[in-house]
């Protein structure tokens, strides 16, 4: 806000990403496992929308690689999904910014659902196919969480003056 050309408080963005990585492996009760929100995708979406000049597909790709190592999938699988999500958000950026937060939620439901379908396709290729379409539930969960996540992060972003 003071000087829009120089990056400020960039550490906070990466701090949220680290937190997202932790959340994506944190132990949950058995019945909640299937509902685990796509934390990294949510964070990538928020920061892509807030700072499109700094956070984009390359960041998403790197984070996806980290997720691959954590989950033990082939390197590149989650990277590709996150890159795709980031690309879709970037291309919808102008429209998303004018939307109300609930409309954004709907867009996120569709985008993340596409991501999860691509995930299903990739894991079927690599030999562990999930038996049901229950894997769309994380997308729904993420869409429901979006208003709160974006509200909290926007508040923090204003306070820290991140740009």
Partner 1 sequence: MRLLVLVVLSISLMVVDARFTLLQPVRSQMSLVLMQSYWITDLPQRLYQGVASQFGSRTELVAENEKLKTEALLLQGRLQKLAALTEQNVRLRELLNSSALVNEKVEVAELIGMDPNPFTQRILINKGERDGVFLGQPVLDARGLMGQVVELMPYTSRVLLLTDSTHSIPVQVNRNGLRAIASGTGNPERLELRHVADTADIKEGDLLVSSGLGQRFPAGYPVATVKEVIHDSGQPFAIVRAVPTAALNRSRYLLLVFSDSRSPEQRATEAAQAQEAADHQGQVAPGTPAPAVPAAAATPAGASATPAAPVNGHSAPAANSHTPATPAAAAPATAPAKPAHGTSRERH
CB of 155 to partner 1, least distance (A): 25
Cβ-based nearer residue to partner 1, 60 or 162: 60
Cα–Cα distance between 21 and 39 in angstroms, integer? 8
Cα–Cα distance between 103 and 35 in angstroms, integer? 21
Positions that interact with partner 1 (CB under 8 A):
21-22, 24-27, 30, 33-34, 36, 56-58, 61, 64-66, 69-72, 74-77, 79-80, 83-84, 87, 122, 126-128, 130-131, 135
- The answer to whether 38 touches 32, Cβ cutoff 8 Å, is no
Cβ-based nearer residue to partner 1, 6 or 127: 127
CB of 54 to partner 1, least distance (A): 14
Cα–Cα distance between 103 and 111 in angstroms, integer? 12
Cα–Cα distance between 47 and 146 in angstroms, integer? 13
CB of 158 to partner 1, least distance (A): 28
């Amino acid at each position: 806000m003071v000087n829009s050309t120089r990056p400020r408080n960039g550490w906070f963005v990466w701090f949220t990403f680290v937190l997202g990585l932790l959340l994506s492996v944190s132990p949950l009760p058995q019945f909640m496992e299937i509902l685990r929100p796509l934390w990294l995708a949510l964070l990538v979406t928020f920061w892509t929308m807030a700072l499109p000049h700094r956070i984009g597909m390359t960041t998403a790709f790197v984070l996806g690689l980290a997720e691959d190592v954590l989950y033990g999938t082939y390197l590149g699988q989650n990277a590709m999904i996150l890159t795709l999500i980031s690309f879709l958000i970037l291309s919808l950026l102008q429209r998303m910014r004018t939307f109300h937060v609930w409309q954004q939620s709907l867009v996120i439901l569709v985008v993340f659902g596409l991501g999860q379908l691509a995930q299903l396709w990739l894991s079927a290729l690599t030999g562990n196919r999930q038996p049901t379409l229950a894997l769309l539930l994380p997308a729904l969960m993420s869409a429901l969480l979006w208003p709160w996540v974006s509200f909290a992060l926007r508040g923090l972003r204003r306070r820290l003056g991140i740009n």
